[in-house]
Structure 1
Amino acid sequence: MTSMEHFPYPEEKLKELGELILCRESQLSALLAIFGERPHLSFPSIFIYGQTGTGKTYVLQTVLSILQLPHAFVNCVECFTSRLLFEQILNQLYSHCPSPENEYCSYERCDTFNEFVRLYKKMIQCQELENETIYIVLDKAELLREMEANLLPAFLRLQELTQSNVTMIFLSEIVWETFRPNTGCLEPLTVYFSDYSKVELQKILSSNYPEEYSSDFYASYINILLGVFYAVCRDIKELRHLAALNFPKFCEPVIRGEAKEGDSHKLWRNIEPHLKRAMQTVYLREISSSQWEKIQQEDREASQLKGLSAHAHVELPFYSKFLLIAAYLASYNPARTDKRFFLKHHGKIKKTDFLKKHEKTSNHLLGPKPFPLDRLLAILYSIVDSRVAPTANIFSQISSLVTLQLLTLVGHDDQLDGPKYKCTVSLDFMRAVARTVNFDIVRYLYDFL
């Protein structure tokens, strides 16, 4: 930690931070420089942004706890109203914990920002923190835009309004230019957390190796894991989960005595098909790790698994499955073929009647095509036996499929012709989903006529 010797903190604390926070040296140095000494006046507001899984929350929580700085750490997902947000901040600063003894009440009711400022000043006097910098951290801060318009500008000027040494820290996945309110506000100091590189992910994941195995053996496993998943997943939390989930399978040949820790070729052949099957559940939390292992055991015993096991889809809602089927058909079928596949009494239409001369390549090789929302709903109504009303429930399920990255929103929300989507799943994945609702999707695909 020679690069941080000049910081006004105990050397053992800086050393501990260096051991706990890997591959974020520049961001850590920037934060320590901004914080400065405890009694010194700090910057009024800091905006930390970056993609999910880049260490923003972890680094900040670690720094505040290791250095024992007075702070409140609040997630805006949990505090979806201004009152909940104010009371949660005050509860932490007053060291008040809602419990059965106090009937789960907050320290004090706080409905407005003026009341929050008054109670905050009172807290400083009670806790004798006049000479300390207090840090208030708001995680998932982009949700503040959905609250009162004056809330974000007021938080940015909290140091000025309270006339105290307080620093507001906002953690977000969007850039400040998108976050900035239209009413005008005090500009925060921005700190960017870039995505981890493959080398950095290798270093971080390899540091948590099991004691019963050597570090080199676990590092070789992480190298294989990243070789499979790095192209589709950069989220360190997801990769850590996948590493813990699949490591027992990697160790099987060593435990049975069929291979040694250095036999990388044998270990790779054993784990490769398992990792390819596990890749179908990246970012999906429909099943727990134990359930996934049970499914894998059943599939190994059956020895007839092709693609993703259909059992992994039982938790998807009924209409979400049909929405996904309709989206896949809309992505890979030309729009002019919808009449043939989905319209009753369409008469006899030969494939050559609507086959264009330049169509010599399979649509599945060309990739999914974007489609409008009204076409998706039209196909959905055709393939579902009972009439489905376009309710908010249906639209929320479409949003859920986009969140799960099974569908991709193409273009911007402000398009005049409405949103367009693309289906991002594979054919094997889609056939497994369709089998759970007894739908023969191949009969409705243009490439298989």
Structure 2
Amino acid sequence: MTGLLQQPGYDEERLKRVSELLPCREVQAGMLLSLMGQPQQYCYPSVFIYGHRSSGKSHVTNILMEELELPHATVSCVECVSVALLFEQVLLSFFGCDAASLLPRSPSLSDFVRIYRQQSSQFPAEQTRYIVSDTSPELLRDADANLLPALLRLQELVEDNVTVILLSEIVWETFRPNTGCFEPLLLHFPDYSKDELKQVLSKNKHPSYSAEFYSSYINILLGVFYSVCRDLRELRHLAALNFSKFCEPVEAGKAKVGDTHKLWKNIEPHLKKAMRTVYLREVSRCLSAHTHVELPYYSKFLLIAAYLASYNPARTDKRFFVKHHGKIRKTNFLKKNEKTSNHLLGPKPFPLDRLLAIFYSVVDSRVAPTASIFSQISSLVTLQLLVQISHDDQLDAPKYKCAVTLDFISAISRTVNFDIVKYLYDFL
């Protein structure tokens, strides 16, 4: 549906072009535009956009900035390994190399604000300037304590028409620094529905085949993978990877384009085989790609705690997670009849209170037992990383099992600098 975007101050042809480039995301683009207002008007100081991976956050924001030719600086908190690089990127994008060169070797926030104010007074903004952090902005929480609060109210500090847009996969309640800060406007991007995924994926049709034929292929693909994979990028990769197999009977003359049943029978075994390579939102990738799974920070530690609870006997928790447990003799700690590896026996169920106890022991910061932590446990169950084996109507606490492999949890552990092998009973 094109032509949906309407916002005073912007060229109608450009807005129409934006709508064409953002299928099934016109509503979110329109909401963001309404928050931004007209180009010459002062925008709200900061906007926090959140949603799951591949929900269109970066794509929508970048398309609006590029197509509407809005002055912006896109910064990656992964690439900007120091605040100096972040400050330099912003000044370079807005004012050029000369402004960036004014920064001292190890600039402070005050240096950045001072130089920005000098440059903005010489080159006043004719329209709102935007600073967009679209890669792991949660890393800002680990920087200087005053950096994130300052960015959220940068407009006030530099006295310029500038807005900071943060794109994140975690909710603001988890993102918010403990010291408190200026509250940004919140904008949620929901996941694509099945019909929306079909509409978006069908636009990438093969030039040798009709749109109807490719759409029927996408429909079959989603029927198989939608329950386990809703990542648009991964589904697009999967569609491109398997289309040649879907077309084999047609190219061999064994079926016609309209023989959907024959085409399905031909590709069904191939897709079922591909299902075994799909984990979470990953499709047809080797094991090394598991390091790219994106989970919120605390969800990673929850998953680590779940793995330890599944593969360590409960009686070993004191040995691993209590700092002053006293001396425990190895002969008493290791039972002689325990010769079979727990990893060969498979994951054991564990109660919720044990999961939380291990989580609070391994996480490297003080975390309050908020509803956010419990919602992240539910998300891990929804994503099939945890399996809930007790019913919701039971009076006792729910029990879970961890559903990931050792290689997978090792990759997750490396992203948070946690040596999980040291805490596994099988590797003593």
Counterpart-to-counterpart distance in 2, 1:230 and 1:47? 28
Q: Aligned partner of 1:185: which letter? A: C
Counterpart-to-counterpart distance in 1, 2:270 and 2:339? 46
Q: CA deviation at 1:173?
A: 1.0
1:280 aligned to 2:306?
Answer: no
Q: TM-score, normalised by structure 1?
A: 0.64
Partner of 2:40: 39
Partner of 2:349: 369
Partner of 2:193: 197
Q: CA deviation at 1:64?
A: 0.2
Alpha-carbon distance change, 328 to 177 in structure 1, aligned in 2, over 3 angstroms: closer
The C-alpha deviation readout for 1:382-423, integer Å capped at 9, x for no partner, is xxxxxxxxxxxxxxxxxxxx9xx896599xxxxxxxxx9844
Q: Aligned partner of 1:130: which letter? A: A
Q: CA deviation at 1:238?
A: 1.0
Counterpart-to-counterpart distance in 2, 1:407 and 1:281? 15
Partner of 1:70: 71
1:195 match: secondary structure:
coil
Counterpart-to-counterpart distance in 1, 2:181 and 2:163? 15
1:73 match: secondary structure:
strand
1:181 aligned to 2:177?
Answer: yes
Partner of 2:137: 141
Counterpart-to-counterpart distance in 2, 1:215 and 1:332? 49
Deviates more, 1:48-57 or 1:24-33: 24-33
Partner of 2:22: 21
List gaps (5 residues or longer) in structure 1: 98-104, 293-311, 318-326, 337-341, 350-362, 377-401, 411-419, 430-443, 445-449
Counterparts of residues 242-257 of structure 1 (less than 5 Å): 242-257=238-253
2:150 match: secondary structure:
helix
Partner of 1:153: 149
Q: CA deviation at 1:251?
A: 1.1
CA contact (8 A) 2:245 2:267 kept: yes
Deviates more, 1:228-237 or 1:53-62: 228-237
State percent identity of aligned pairs.
54
How many residue pairs were aligned?
Answer: 333
The C-alpha deviation readout for 1:120-168, integer Å capped at 9, x for no partner, is 2244355x34322100011222221111111111111100001110001
CA contact (8 A) 2:5 2:29 kept: no
Q: RMSD of the TM alignment (CA)?
A: 4.0
CA contact (8 A) 2:7 2:38 kept: no
Q: CA deviation at 1:182?
A: 2.6
Partner of 1:264: 260
Q: Aligned partner of 2:172: which letter? A: W
CA contact (8 A) 1:90 1:107 kept: no
> Which one of the candidate residues 337, 342, 363 is aligned to 1:346?
337
Q: CA deviation at 1:242?
A: 0.9
Counterpart-to-counterpart distance in 1, 2:112 and 2:227? 46
Alpha-carbon distance change, 348 to 144 in structure 1, aligned in 2, over 3 angstroms: closer
Q: CA deviation at 1:369?
A: 2.2
> Which one of the candidate residues 418, 424, 432 is aligned to 2:403?
424
Partner of 1:81: 82
1:159 match: secondary structure:
helix
Counterpart-to-counterpart distance in 1, 2:339 and 2:63? 68
Q: CA deviation at 1:176?
A: 1.2
1:281 match: secondary structure:
coil
Counterpart-to-counterpart distance in 2, 1:14 and 1:368? 55
Counterparts of residues 47-446 of structure 1 (less than 5 Å): 47-96=48-97, 108-109=103-104, 111-125=107-121, 128-139=123-134, 140-282=136-278, 331=310, 346=337, 369-370=349-350, 408=386, 422-424=401-403
Counterpart-to-counterpart distance in 2, 1:333 and 1:266? 49
Deviates more, 1:238-247 or 1:278-287: 278-287
Counterpart-to-counterpart distance in 2, 1:198 and 1:282? 18
1:72 match: secondary structure:
strand
Counterpart-to-counterpart distance in 2, 1:222 and 1:106? 51
Q: CA deviation at 1:259?
A: 1.1
Counterpart-to-counterpart distance in 2, 1:92 and 1:421? 49
Q: CA deviation at 1:108?
A: 4.0
Counterpart-to-counterpart distance in 1, 2:17 and 2:290? 44
Alpha-carbon distance change, 314 to 425 in structure 1, aligned in 2, over 3 angstroms: same
Counterpart-to-counterpart distance in 2, 1:18 and 1:88? 29
CA contact (8 A) 1:72 1:93 kept: yes
